[in-house]
Structure 1
């Protein structure tokens, strides 16, 4: 359809116009509702994106990509717990979808839960080892997880050895001698 073509080209307003016409003709079009949700999300019109994404999921509840996009919209609106639930539904709906694992991995990464992010990105990478974005996400998560693990280990070591001072010592500035 024209709406799909405009969406692929990043022409959000034209996509919304054409997809809106398609929805007027066929309100129960899963595809048109999902695609218009994507266009509204790209424009930052999250309420409209949410409404159409919900409609598409009412029409096709097992659509993993729909749950991923719903999670993205909810996350952008600040509803992080509901976003995580949508990503979990996406994984349950499509356990062989690298995109679903990548989405929940991204959620964990954004929340600085790096070991969980590593777990999810590893699963995504196992499913799609040629996906460069997933590989980059996994690498970054591994790096962050190791950095935190190293800092925690260093801190624990200092506590075990009775070192209770901060990592950086503050020193009183030297007073200038009067002549």
Structure 2
């Protein structure tokens, strides 16, 4: 059975990283990331207007965890667990089909250092072993080659190209869907 109901938030660790629950004290760091055009270049989502809007997002993340809809981690270095450097998590949980969508972002100061790969490996393992997901999906902007390569590196396969399937900032955009099937099922 698919499980997103945990008694406490499941903090995870890798060799260099701590994956922990979002706190309201992360709002300024998350606001800075969600308004950074370098980070958001391929994340087609409205930019928050202020830090207060991001506090509301963090509250929704935590409520979504409590209600079993999503599981969103802050990515932080073990040496400084209070400082958010990125996010990773499961969204759009489809209980009937044991499927969830994974998404991630990382501050550019930490790009090309294997951080997302490390966090992704741990969250994929958690998704299959602890949540009992059958499939993990990822939805990327077709221009995001770095994310495409990351997904392929971790065994995801391209399942679909949806042409002009969503509208953002006055344009219809394409998206690519990638999937990873639990090897233990």
Structure with greater proportional strand content: 2
Which protein, 1 or 2, shows the higher relative CO under an 8 Å CA cutoff with sep ≥ 6?
Answer: 2
TM-score if structure 1 supplies the norm length? 0.30
Q: Which of the pair has more CA radius of gyration? A: 1
Bigger proportion of residues as helix: 1
- The alignment's TM-score, normalised by the length of structure 2, stands at 0.29
